[in-house]
Structure 1
Amino acid sequence: MKANVNLDEAARVAAEADQAKAELVSPFLEAAALVLWQECREQPSRGRVHRVRSPRTSDEVSALVALTGSVAGLVIYSMSSATACALASRMIGETVESLDPMAQSAIAELANVITGQASILLEQAGYPSDISPPVLLVGHGSSIATFNLTRVVVPLELSVGRFSIDVAIRET
């Protein structure tokens, strides 16, 4: 199922970023649309794609996955606690009212699966890479530095809230 995400426009914005090529960002959007549909029955629509060089202040829930290989950097998936609980509920198949360990595991796995699918697409485009296990930050306000990497920020609107993807990767 294709989501209502304009990948061409996102790719154009990504191409303008100093260190992020379109072919490095688009796989994350494609993977997110696919996985959010398969796992959560969510069809995202894309908000305004933009680029940022400053550190990222975490939302209430942020999952971080690092990439190494032909590309290196960090992908950050951010959302509110309410959005995280709603997505975890759909993944687990039962109501989740708080970010208990099971819900945290579900959100970490969602980030892992999206990044894994994106890494397959990156490899098909000639950028083989490995991914780290996800790290989950719970609590608003942590500063996440991507140092000299420009982050391409893609906010996705879901029926349960905003799900933002920050892609800060470069060719090695």
Structure 2
Amino acid sequence: MDVKYLNPIIAATDSVFETMLSLKPEKGKMSVQEELITDKEANVIIGMTGDIRGSIVYSFSEEMALKVVAAMSGMEMDTLDKFVTSAMGELGNIISGKATVGLSEQDLECDIVPPQIVTGKEINITSEADSVLMVNFNTELGDFDVSFAIK
């Protein structure tokens, strides 16, 4: 995967977390996998079309998803319900939308499709990409992964 795709997505993740949640995500380890298997319970899948085709997947533990939505809404959350998954989908949508702006500044035309939310553990998310780059981020509320399956 070309790093020019990666940097705008990481920058958008940092910016949205700082603006919406007052959190500064610290980039942790990166790994390349043949397929995307997530060990986190709340997964937001955003498809990309245009010059860049593939998916970005934001993966959060149930505990972190509840904390993030509590911070977004000002309400205490205790269940990974439709409200929580909808809010997490919107967070992924905002990050990805901001990333497309950064990609367009590099003369890459791309659009995003509405988010899909998948809950559960050990989920295998298939894509057409030959490999998946997973970047782990750490915050005060916990850690999360952003995976790139871009063709």
What's the TM-score, normalizing by structure 1?
0.84
How many residues get paired? 151
State the Cα deviation string for residues 127-152 of structure 1 (Å, max 9, x = none).
11010100001111221112443211
1:37 maps to 2:1: no
Separation of aligned partners in 2, 1:167 and 1:160: 22
Query: 1:155·1:165 contact (CA, 8 Å) conserved in 2?
Result: yes
> Among residues 107, 111, 116, which one is paired with 2:97 in the alignment?
116
SS across alignment from 2:16: helix
Q: Is the 8 A contact 1:55 1:147 kept in 2?
A: no
Structure 1: tracts of 5 or more residues without a match: 1-19
Secondary structure of the equivalent of 2:118? strand
Q: Is the 8 A contact 1:58 1:144 kept in 2?
A: no
Question: Which residue of structure 1 lines up, in the alignment, with residue 27 of structure 2?
Answer: 46
Please tell me whether the aligned partners of residues 58 and 143 of structure 1 are also in contact (alpha carbons under 8 angstroms).
no
Higher strand share: 2
- What is the one-letter code of the residue matched to 2:19? Q
Quote the residue 2:112 is aligned against: 131
3-state SS of 1:94 partner:
coil
| Distance in 2 between residues matched to 1:83 and 1:29, nearest whole Å | 19
What is the aligned-residue RMSD (CA, Å)?
1.2
Q: Shift in Å at residue 58 of structure 1?
A: 5.0
State yes or no: 1:101 paired with 2:104. no
Runs of 4+ in 1 over 6 A off after TM superposition: none
Query: 2:145 maps to what in 1?
Result: 164
Alpha-carbon distance in structure 1 between the residues aligned to 2:68 and 2:14 = 14
What's the secondary structure of 1:107's corresponding residue? helix
1:102-123 Cα offsets, whole Å, 9 max, x none, are: 2111100000000000011111
Give me the whole-angstrom Cα distance separating, in 1, the residues matched to 2:72 and 2:125. 27
Q: State the Cα deviation string for residues 8-56 of structure 1 (Å, max 9, x = none).
A: xxxxxxxxxxxx1011011110000000111111111111112112242
Aligned-residue sequence identity (percent) comes to 25
| In structure 1, distance between residues paired with 2:17 and 2:73 | 13
Instruction: Decide which moves more: 97-106 or 49-58.
Output: 49-58
Residue in 2 that maps onto 1:66: 47
State the TM-score, normalizing by the size of structure 2: 0.95
Identify unmatched segments of 5+ residues in structure 2: none
User: Using the alignment, how far apart are the partners of 1:83 and 1:32 within structure 2?
Assistant: 16
